[in-house]
């Protein structure tokens, strides 16, 4: 970037200024706009004050000159106030819109995270239930090891069967497993 022309350097200095982004004298966007408007107003007032009329030798012309200068300053002040209000209002409206958009985004993200958490929770619960199937099958009397392993594989392979298996009483679990192994289900 060295030894390259910077055609917009003066505009960048006006936009970014010194110590506006960070540091001891950091300004928020609204303060920055107000500062720029104050600088413009000061320049405009200097231009108006710098004009001399040259009619100072008569009292009438002096009073007219003073009245004209006061009117010019008042009209400049009114214009400046309108500009300042519209600039500040535009910034405030823009910041308000950004805040609304950010609020909507956060709300939407929160809802999506809740859905993801529910799904992860369900997956965790389903995995826990699948782990408990073998322990429940071991409690059924008269079930050989091979039958228990086969029944466990059949139950764990279908989430609906896992849910139904745990909804049954101990007596019904034994009968249901026998029906499952015999192929009647």
Segment 46-99, tens digit of pLDDT: 665 555 444 444 444 444 444 444 455 555 555 555 545 556 778 888 888 999
User: What's the rounded Cα separation, in Å, for the pair 145 and 12?
Assistant: 80
Closest alpha carbon to 143 in 154, 156, 152, 155 = 152
Q: What is the pTM of this model?
A: 0.38
To the nearest 10°, the Cα dihedral for 40, 41, 47, 49?
Answer: -160
Give the separation between CA 35 and CA 84, rounded to whole angstroms. 10
* Residue, of 49 and 8, whose pLDDT is higher: 8
Between residues 30 and 158, the one the model is more confident about: 158
**Cβ neighbourhood burial of 137 (10 Å; 0-12, 13-18, 19+):** buried
The more confident residue out of 24 and 121 is 121
Question: If you search the block for the tokens 């008569």, which residue do you land on?
Answer: 58
End-to-end, the C-alpha distance of the chain in Å comes to 77
User: Would you state the pLDDT for residue 85?
Assistant: 52
At 146, is the pLDDT very low, low, confident or very high (cuts 50, 70, 90)? very high
CB 133 within 8 A of CB 159: no
Provide the 8-state DSSP code for 7: T
Q: So what's the pLDDT on residue 18?
A: 62
List the chain domain ranges.
9-100
């Amino acid at each position: 970037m060295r030894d390259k022309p910077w055609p917009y350097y003066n505009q960048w200095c006006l936009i970014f200024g010194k110590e506006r982004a960070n540091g001891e004298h950091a300004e928020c966007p609204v303060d920055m706009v107000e500062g720029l408007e104050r600088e413009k107003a000061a320049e405009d007032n200097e231009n108006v004050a710098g004009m001399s009329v040259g009619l100072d030798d008569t009292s009438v012309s002096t009073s007219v000159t003073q009245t004209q200068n006061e009117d010019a300053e008042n009209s400049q002040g009114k214009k400046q106030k309108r500009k300042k209000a519209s600039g500040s209002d535009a910034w405030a409206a823009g910041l308000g819109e950004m805040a609304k958009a950010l609020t909507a985004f956060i709300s939407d993200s929160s809802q999506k995270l809740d859905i993801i958490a529910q799904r992860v929770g369900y997956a965790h619960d389903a995995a826990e239930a699948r782990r408990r199937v073998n322990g429940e099958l071991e409690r059924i009397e008269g079930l050989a090891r091979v039958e228990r392993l086969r029944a466990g594989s059949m139950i764990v392979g279908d989430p609906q069967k896992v849910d139904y298996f745990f909804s049954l009483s101990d007596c019904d679990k034994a009968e249901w497993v026998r029906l499952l192994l015999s192929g009647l289900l």
